[in-house]
Amino acid sequence: MPLHVTHYSDPHCPWAWSASPALAALRWRYGSQLIWRHVMIGLTESRDVYASRGYSPGRSALGYRSFRNRGMPFSTQPREHLSGTWAACRVVVATRRLYPERELAVFRALQFAQFTSTLDLEDAAGQREAIAWVPGIDPDAVIAAASEPETEELFAADRAESRSAAGSPTEFQGKAAQYSSDQDQVRYTAPSLRFTTDDGRTLEAGGFQPLEAYDVLIANLDTDLERRGAAADAAEILPEFPDGLSTAEVALIMTSNNGSPDLGAAEDSLITAVAEGTAFRAPFGHDALWLPADSPAVATLSGDAVGATA
């Protein structure tokens, strides 16, 4: 029987972005045996919240540089101003309404835009540019739906669920958050994962965690699952990820138990796949998104990617 995964996250959170390799590795190891449900946290309603906490575009760019050692692509070009996260979360929820099978792809496209470009994700034009390359959606329809009452109702439910961590293992481990603006509600931090069996048994890993934390929870819930081992090379991996992976995501999928990801070896394997015509490289930030050559996204990314740098 499959395990159900509730994924609490926000497209603006650098910790959630940096956890992407672990989440990709879970998808590689367990595939369709994990049934994912995404819940948007809504970290900040508007850019004014960040200003009140002392954040600035320069401080944000410096923070992104410090996150680079965790592997995911980042750009350090300071924005003109910061953006609140509710607007981007509404775009994800609107995609859930219109194109539920593309929700994760749009979520990731917004992450790429947030961390490797200077697009204003509180602005409809910036949102559209961020997601326009995602296959299988009408970006204009998604952006229009983001402002509809049905989307707001679903997003409000997401925010309420995300603020139900009081008394949870996440709070016990010190991985929850609490702000006065949340009226003293205890919030799951991004990314938090809850694994639930069909008979209701649940284990959770709150906040940023290593892959091993997720893996041990799964092992304690269901040893009947098939668990795939590490991949040998990028050519084996990319066909199963048509929306692409970063170098760090590929590297972790290629890492055996208790091993350390080798980003150089992963990139060499990816470069080889591009040279052989089986993969495509789209530059993002200081790294890239690597896709199978036959991915529908290649047609829209064959020019410069959103916010790409050499």
What is the tens place of the pLDDT at every residue in 80-100? Answer: 888 889 999 999 999 999 999
pLDDT score recorded for residue 155: 98
36 vs 185, which has greater pLDDT? 36
Say whether pLDDT at 47 is over 80: no
pLDDT score recorded for residue 310: 33
Strand order across the beta sheet in which 287-292 lies: 245-246, 287-292, 279-284
Please give the average per-residue pLDDT across 102-106, as a whole number: 98
Say whether pLDDT at 309 is over 90: no
Please give the average per-residue pLDDT across 29-53, as a whole number: 89
pLDDT score recorded for residue 204: 98
pLDDT score recorded for residue 57: 80
What tokens were used for 169? Answer: 């293992």
What tokens were used for 158? Answer: 């997401």
pLDDT score recorded for residue 205: 98
Q: What are the pLDDT digits (tens) for 71-85?
A: 999 999 988 888 889
Q: What are the pLDDT digits (tens) for 131-145?
A: 999 999 999 999 999
Is there a contact between 307 and 113 (Cβ–Cβ < 8 Å)? yes
Global pTM reads 0.94
pLDDT score recorded for residue 49: 75
* CB neighbour list of residue 226: distance below 8 Å, 6 or more residues apart: 30, 33
pLDDT score recorded for residue 56: 83
pLDDT score recorded for residue 308: 44
Q: What are the pLDDT digits (tens) for 219-239?
A: 999 999 999 999 999 999 999
